[in-house]
Amino acid sequence: MADNNEVTMKKTLGLTGLTMNAMALIAPGAFLWLTFVIQAGTGQTSPSMWIGIFVALLLCLATAVCYAEMAKLYPGTGSSYYFAEQSFLNHDDVWRWARLAKFIVGWASHLYYWIYPGVMVAVMGILCGYLAGTLWPNFMSATNPGTAFMMLIAVAFSFLIAYIAHRGIIGSTAVNIAINVIQIAALVLFAALALGYRTSHPAGSVGYQFDSTSGDAYNYQFATTKATVNGQTTETIVRDADGKPKPLLDGAGKPAPYLVTYPEKDDKGNFMSHSSAGSVVGIHNVSWAFIQATVAILILVGFESVTSMGGEAKNAKRDVPIAVITSLLVQGAFCYLFEYFAANYFLNSGYHMQNAVSSAAPIGDMMIVVGNAVFGPGGGRAFMLTEAFTVFLAIIGTTLSCMNTGARVTYAMGKDAEVPEHFGLLHSKNLTPHRAIWTLAAISAVVGCLGVMLAFGDAGAPADAAIKSLPPGFWSSFGYTTHDGMAAMPNSLLTVTLASNFGTFLLYGLSCIICMVAYHRHPKFSAIRHLFIPVFGLLANLACMSFYLIGPFLGYGTKMEPLLALGIAAVWACYGGIYFVRSSKASGRTTMVPRRTSAA
């Protein structure tokens, strides 16, 4: 018999297991690969990429303190959902609002927890498409992988991760420990080589330039020829039979070396590269920083995931708060700030921000350039494939962690009959919320397919020449129409990312409020930890949410994607209100708690 209402979760997780599960969700190896291209395509705001991450990190640190403090009072399964219930029930003035509070928090959290895994499976589809195009260029374009192929990978990967999660948390923890060690080591290596490339290649020195068609980097200038198409004259690169660009020859008949420069903008005003290290960490524009933060939050979320595993922790009151803060400091304050600085500082005329906008994997392209410079011609591709394997592992870890977390929040609501009660059942053998896991797998597959459907829409639309050069076939070119047609459509990957991120800001803001409620008039109240930090976190979350509206109307960043994300959030909120009223009426439950239960 698979279902049993009486079985409970085993307490198997120590501090290491809890921390590693959260660190796997804040996976720097996966998200540098994933989010760089999304942030690069967010309008003209890309110069503020690093500072945007810093703003998001401050927001997350404030929220992490709130989660850690609430975990000290109320260790258990359900994270913010559970905290909301207990905080209100244990407060003398607002206990009647406990049911409504926990439902609002739980429902809002699903906007994040049910979309986020779909973003991850979409990224896996893009990664596999990029690798397939690198290994078999006649089958797939690495720069613009086939939509149907990416969808197939997204669906298969979603259910594979669900199977691992279904088997149990102990196996998941072992996987996450190994993945964290591997990806951090690989991350530090790439970042160090990228910094080394920039410092050893001053302006005017011989360096490499990347060619997206052949997927390789070369240390010579490319020979070009002029062609007139539809009355417009354009320069095209002269290539050999294998698609490799031919070198421009100098007066002595030798290949003219490529000289690296660091231009800030191109002739159209598009951002290209940073002229100095100070430019990388500079604000440039306050609005740009906040818009970048609305995307960057994706790479930092996950520290709160361990608060949903309190039921499986050996010493939840001691270990969960430590795991929350530690995971964010290691992955966010160290790994992300270091790797994003290195990647942005690396940008140059041979590989600039506009190259990143039109690529499926700009970090992979950078690895090829750096690898060729360090290991010699051809070494870059081998270096990229090795690093890509660690990214592959990192995406497995982060998708597994977010699916575990999301399923456990749904499980907690199912136990309370706030969502269909079958979600509150555990598998009798594996002791996992299997109904919630498999439901989330199906949702993730759908979201993943939507995410890759127009992953190169809007600013990332490929040129008509690039579309015509795609390998023919359903798996490699289906979905690519024309540049103008794709540029007029929203970027679907950015849209689902912003929708998930809006749910994150909403959840984090509500969690800051819950922390203030939990410690209001509490004997252990601290003005810094339980008032000033939560207020800062709440205001920071509200500020980021406001830029979903401010950005499009002021012309900052992109327009279609933030508004679509707001539409998704509005539909989810309306559906939640309707569901709450109908389910309450059907079960005979009241919105307000009729009588106060004993304190937990």
What is d(CA 233, CA 231) in angstroms, rounded to the nearest whole number? Answer: 7
Q: 10 Å Cβ neighbour count for 312?
A: 25
Is residue 233 assigned to a domain?
no
CATH of the domain at 362: 1.20.1740.10
What is d(CA 59, CA 596) in angstroms, rounded to the nearest whole number? Answer: 34
231: left (phi over 0), alpha (psi -120 to 50) or beta: left
Half-sphere exposure at residue 490, Cβ-oriented, CA atoms within 13 angstroms? 18
Q: For the chain, how many structural domains are there in total?
A: 1
Determine the pLDDT at residue 360.
84
Determine the pLDDT at residue 77.
66
Is residue 456 assigned to a domain?
yes
* Sequence-ordered list of residues with C-beta below 8 angstroms from that of 375, at least 6 positions apart, any chain: 382, 383
Is residue 478 assigned to a domain?
yes
What is d(CA 168, CA 107) in angstroms, rounded to the nearest whole number? Answer: 25
Half-sphere exposure at residue 573, Cβ-oriented, CA atoms within 13 angstroms? 11
Is residue 352 assigned to a domain?
yes
CA angle 63, 68, 73 (to 5 degrees): 125
* Sequence-ordered list of residues with C-beta below 8 angstroms from that of 553, at least 6 positions apart, any chain: none
What is d(CA 25, CA 492) in angstroms, rounded to the nearest whole number? Answer: 22
- pTM of the predicted structure, to 2 decimals: 0.84
Is residue 340 assigned to a domain?
yes
Could you read off the pLDDT of 231-282 as tens digits, one per residue?
677 788 899 888 899 999 988 889 999 999 999 998 888 999 999 999 999 9
What is d(CA 47, CA 50) in angstroms, rounded to the nearest whole number? Answer: 8
Helical residues (DSSP H) of 201-315, grouped into ranges: 277-281, 286-300
Determine the pLDDT at residue 231.
64
CA 492 to chain centre: 14
Closest CA to 453 of 215, 154, 158: 154
Helix then strand then coil, in percent of the chain rounded to 5, is 65, 5, 25
Determine the pLDDT at residue 346.
97
Burial of 285 (0-12, 13-18, 19+ CB in 10 A): middle
- Give the residue numbers spanning the domain of 425: 3-197+266-271+285-587
Is residue 454 assigned to a domain?
yes
| Helices and strands of the chain, counted as H and E runs | 23, 6
Is residue 103 assigned to a domain?
yes
Is residue 204 assigned to a domain?
no
Mean pLDDT by 10 residues, the chain (600 residues): 50 78 71 81 88 93 94 79 89 90 91 91 92 89 91 95 78 69 85 95 95 91 80 80 90 92 91 95 92 88 78 81 90 89 96 90 93 93 91 83 82 85 75 85 95 86 85 90 90 91 92 94 93 95 87 75 92 94 90 69
| Cβ-contact 164, 21 below 8 angstroms | no
